[in-house]
Amino acid sequence: MDHAKVRDYMTQYVSTLSPDDTVRSAIELIRRTGHDGFPVVKDGIVQGYISSPNMLAASLDEKVSKLMATDILAADENMDMDELARVMFRSGMSKLPVVDRNGKLTGIITNSDVIRSHIERTSPQKVWTLKKALETLHNIDVTIARESVNINELVPTQGKIYADELEGRIYELKKGLAEPIVVIKTPQKLLLVDGHHRVVAAQKLGITMVDAYIIMFAEDVHLGLEKTAKEAGLNSINDIRILDYARHPLVEITKRLKRDDEKGMSDVGATH
């Protein structure tokens, strides 16, 4: 199943300002839309971002270009929503402009859109897809149950998670928005195959029982997951490493455009 992309959840119709607009125009736009900040765009390209705090001490005739933040973050429209969630929780941003491969503004994405994307993916479709794959590969009957499991009984199959995404899962759990984890039940163990961030988030919050889809086999099947977990030293969720702020494919669009402009100017100068 395809991963949800930013383009699937972004708002396409975005209120914007131009660098030559004044604070007066920005305030009028705030009153009209109810938003507290806007991308600043010239010829379709994001030049910066201006929000209410930027204008507090400015005169009404001051140009937006003098007040806007130019060192901003933007999301690529083809970025996975899971990746975007990590970026937004890591940076503390509540909204990001969305751009295409040419740096042109195509929409805006908010943390509410991130939460909505996760709620809509609580569908068991991926569980049924896994069920079908297991039945085809091993020629056995697979059944699925949905019930609560004790996280202390789970054996992880993933040794690393990301701190910023963990923050997002903690937030979702607090709001009651987390989707079920996916577990494979073997004669000896409960193997956690999907939901490592959610399980660690639950542990952080002192939650021991979580909702789960449990995949069970009609006969004993060796999938290799248990062996892999053992070789990696994974016996409990306490063995999962949390990577703090690992590098992520974040689009720093204005920095890149500025570098491209500077390079273009230097290339032009070199030809004269």
**Residue-wise DSSP of 161-201:** EEHHHHHHHHHHHHHT-PPPEEEEE-SS-EEEEE-HHHHHH
In order of 7, 33, 86, 88, the CA distances from 99 in angstroms are 10, 21, 18, 16
- 156 beta partners: 192
Model pLDDT, residue 3: 64
**Phi, then psi, of 161 in degrees rounded to 5:** -135, 170
Domains in the chain (CATH in brackets) are: 6-118+250-270 (3.10.580.10), 122-239 (3.90.1530.10)
Q: Which residues of 83-122 are buried (b: 16+ CB within 10 A; e: fewer)?
A: bbbbbbbbeebebbbbbeeebebbbbbbbebbbebbeeee
Asked if residues 15 and 28 have their Cβ atoms less than 8 Å apart, the reply is no
pLDDT band at 42 (very low <50, low <70, confident <90, very high): very high
Number of other residues whose CB lies within 10 A of the CB of residue 258: 14
**Any idea which residue has 């952080």 for tokens?**
204
What percent of the chain has a predicted confidence (pLDDT) above 90?
Answer: 34
134-183: pLDDT as tens digits: 777 778 888 889 999 999 999 998 888 888 778 888 888 888 877 889 89
pLDDT of residue 103: 85
* Burial (0-12, 13-18, 19+ Cβ within 10 Å), 123: exposed
Given the structure tokens 């306490």, which residue do they identify? Answer: 238
pLDDT at residue 236, as a whole number: 93
User: So what's the pLDDT on residue 81?
Assistant: 85
pLDDT at 115 over 90: no
Element holding 98 (H helix, E strand): strand 95-99
Lowest mean pLDDT among 14-23, 27-36, 160-169: 160-169
Using alpha carbons, list the distances in angstroms from residue 180 to 38, 69, 88, 123, 254. Answer: 36, 40, 23, 9, 38
pTM: 0.54
Position 258 pLDDT exceeds 70: no
Residues 6+ apart with CB under 8 A from 197: 161, 162, 165, 166, 168, 169
Residues with Cβ within 8 Å of 142's Cβ and at least 6 positions away in sequence, in order, are 131, 134, 135, 215, 216, 217, 218
Whole-number Å distance between alpha carbons of 239 and 163: 15
Mean pLDDT of 200-218: 92
Task: Place 123 in a pLDDT band, splitting at 50, 70 and 90.
Answer: low
Query: What pLDDT, on a 0 to 100 scale, did the predictor assign at position 248?
Result: 43
Q: How much is the mean pLDDT over the chain? A: 82
Intra-chain end-to-end CA distance of the chain, in Å: 53
Structure confidence at residue 86 as a pLDDT band (50, 70, 90):
confident
